Amino acid sequence: MTNHIHEHDEEDRIIIPDENGEEHLFDVLFTFDVEETGKSYMVVKPVEAPEDTDDDDYEEVFGFRYEENGDDFNLYPIETDEEWDMVEEMINTFSEEEI
């Protein structure tokens, strides 16, 4: 399987509303494309950690499948275990490269 990680700098941020309609700011860590399926994925982390977290090392990341739509893009939740495994593998690869 060929996956190419496209790293993003700290300035690459997106706003994602939650189920209550509240908007949250996320840093885009990286995106990658899966050539076999033609699908693209985005991995983001919240700019602000949740208030109830005391751990300074706490870092939660989220993965989404996305489709570009002109200048905009649509995010979709990842629903299959296969996709999650692949995203987690890419996160691990990305983390190792960052150290």
User: Any idea what DSSP says for residue 46?
Assistant: E
Q: Reply yes or no on whether the pLDDT at 2 is more than 60.
A: no
pLDDT of residue 80: 94
pLDDT of residue 95: 80
pTM greater than 0.75 (yes/no): yes
Q: How many whole angstroms separate alpha carbon 44 and alpha carbon 30?
A: 7
- From 66, 58, 8, select the one nearest 40 (Cα to Cα): 66
The pair phi, psi for residue 7, each rounded to 5°, is -75, 150
Q: Cβ of 42: how many Cβ atoms within 10 Å?
A: 22
pLDDT of residue 72: 85
CA R_g for the chain: 14
pLDDT tens digit string along 22-79?
A: 999 999 999 999 998 999 999 999 988 666 655 555 578 999 999 988 888 899 999 9
Q: Reply yes or no on whether the pLDDT at 10 is more than 70.
A: no
Strands 23-34 and 39-46: antiparallel
Per-domain boundaries in the chain: 3-98
